[in-house]
């Protein structure tokens, strides 16, 4: 019996941060043995807002190296760059032709990003979730581990699969498998360090709002020292009036490996002056292996290129099989 498949991806925009790690990468790593894994650097998605070509290139390499540094093992997982497997773009066109526009204009992330872009909204931004559906469905994916912000895109992916199967498949032989999201409770929504009601995001103009995975110990120390807190003594989880407190305790819990109950007891009588150095130390220690492994990966000549080359070959094989079926089902003349 073949293993069930996992597919996930992240955009090579900006600097990957704690939210990306806790909401995504960390959860990809843990499942590697039980699944057949595909992890994609979605560079075509990164072009849906204005971008700089040189930055896109270097961000793509950095993100792929960070996948490996976070513990994704190229021996057990296929790591590849989206634009190097042309089936993704082709499949998107086929899905475009069966996706109602209002499904796309309803997407929360589209509305938020479009508002930020003002006059400059490209067609690609609207079409973003269709490309994401192509990513997932091409691999006949069973499970998609993501952060909570991607839930709506996954529902849309299932809607597109259902519609395609209904229009062009048969009950006995659906063309696409329906994927399930996997959103882990811990770390599903890491909040900004400067505003506990906003999610930690690469697009926040303030560097102080996030901890990047490659931040030096000095940067981590500075960011925690300056992060937003409140004037109340004694720290607690789940008090809606204290979003920063909940977020910081949550980070400490995950990186210390302690239970929520243990952290709640440990920190119940602490002030911020005592907690911040503790959190700083825990984060520095927790991120150290990633920084070290990253340096190894990028310092080994040719290593990353080989991983990506092999990755795109393996991915193309799986993706082309599905693309072929979809084209035939839609009535395209097959050579």
Please name the residue that has the structure tokens 């508002």.
Answer: 115
Residues 320, 313: Cα–Cα separation, whole Å: 11
DSSP assignments along 255-320, one per residue: HHT--HHHHHHHHTT--HHHHHHHHHHHHHHHHHHHHHHHHHHHHSTTHHHHHHHHHHHHHHHHHH
29 binding ligand AMP? (CB under 6 A):
no
Binding mask 146-185 for ligand AMP (x = CB under 6 A): xx-xx-----------------------------------
Applying CB under 6 A, the span of 89-97, 186-194, 211-219, 252-260 interacting with ligand AMP comes to: 186-194
Tell me whether residue 251 or residue 323 sits nearer to ligand AMP (CB atom).
Answer: 251
User: Got the DSSP string for 242-272?
Assistant: -HHHHHHHHHHHHHHT--HHHHHHHHTT--H
- For residue 193, state whether it binds ligand AMP (rule: CB under 6 A): no
Is 94 near ligand AMP (CB under 6 A)? no
Q: Is 190 in the site for ligand AMP (CB under 6 A)?
A: yes
Active site positions, annotated: 113, 199, 202
**Residue whose pair of structure tokens reads 């789940």 in the numeric block:** 238
CB of 172 to ligand TRP, least distance (A): 28
| CA pair distance 130, 119, nearest whole angstrom | 22
The listed partner (ligand AMP, ligand TRP, none) that binds 19, CB under 5 to 8 Å by sort, is ligand AMP
Q: How far is the CB of 223 from ligand AMP (least distance, A)?
A: 15
Give residues in contact with ligand TRP (CB under 6 A): 7-11, 42, 45, 132, 135-136, 144, 146, 150, 153
Residue 143's φ and ψ, nearest 5 degrees, are: -135, 135
Q: Give the residues across from 144 on adjacent strands.
A: 181
Complete edge-to-edge strand list for the sheet that includes strand 77-81:
77-81, 36-41, 5-10, 143-145, 180-182
- Nearest in space to 290 (alpha carbons), one of 70, 73, 20: 70
Q: Is 209 in the site for ligand AMP (CB under 6 A)?
A: no
Interface with ligand AMP includes 85 (CB under 6 A)?
Answer: no
Q: How far is the CB of 330 from ligand AMP (least distance, A)?
A: 29
200 binds, among ligand AMP, ligand TRP, none (CB under 5 to 8 A by kind): ligand AMP
């Amino acid at each position: 019996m073949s293993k069930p498949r996992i597919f996930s991806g992240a955009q090579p925009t900006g600097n990957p941060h704690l939210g990306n790690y806790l909401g995504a990468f960390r959860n990809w790593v843990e499942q590697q043995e039980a699944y057949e894994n595909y992890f994609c650097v979605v560079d075509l998605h990164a072009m849906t807002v204005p971008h700089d070509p040189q930055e896109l290139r270097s961000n793509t390499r950095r993100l792929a190296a960070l996948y490996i540094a976070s513990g994704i093992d190229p021996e057990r997982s296929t790591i590849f760059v989206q634009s190097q497997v042309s089936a993704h773009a082709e499949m998107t066109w086929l899905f475009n032709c069966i996706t109602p526009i209002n499904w796309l204009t309803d997407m929360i992330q589209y509305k938020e990003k479009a508002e930020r872009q003002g006059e400059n909204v490209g067609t690609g931004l609207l079409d973003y979730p269709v490309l994401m559906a192509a990513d997932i469905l091409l691999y006949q994916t069973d499970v998609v581990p993501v952060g909570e912000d991607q839930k709506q895109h996954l529902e849309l992916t299932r809607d597109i699969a259902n519609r395609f199967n209904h229009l062009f498949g048969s009950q006995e032989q659906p063309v696409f498998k329906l994927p399930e999201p996997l959103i882990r409770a811990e770390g599903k929504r890491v909040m900004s360090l400067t505003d506990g009601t906003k999610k930690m995001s690469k697009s926040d103009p303030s560097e102080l709002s996030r901890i990047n995975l490659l931040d030096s110990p000095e940067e981590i120390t500075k960011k925690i020292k300056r992060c937003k807190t409140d004037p109340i003594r004694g720290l607690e989880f789940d008090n809606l009036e204290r979003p920063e407190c909940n977020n910081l305790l949550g980070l400490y819990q995950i990186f210390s490996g302690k239970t929520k109950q243990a952290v709640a007891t440990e920190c119940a009588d602490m002030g911020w002056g005592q907690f911040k150095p503790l959190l700083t130390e825990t984060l520095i220690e927790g991120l150290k292996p990633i920084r070290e492994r990253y340096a190894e990966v990028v310092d080994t000549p040719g290593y990353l290129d080989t991983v990506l080359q092999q990755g795109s070959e393996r991915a193309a094989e799986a993706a082309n099989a599905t693309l072929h079926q979809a084209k035939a089902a839609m009535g395209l003349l097959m050579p």
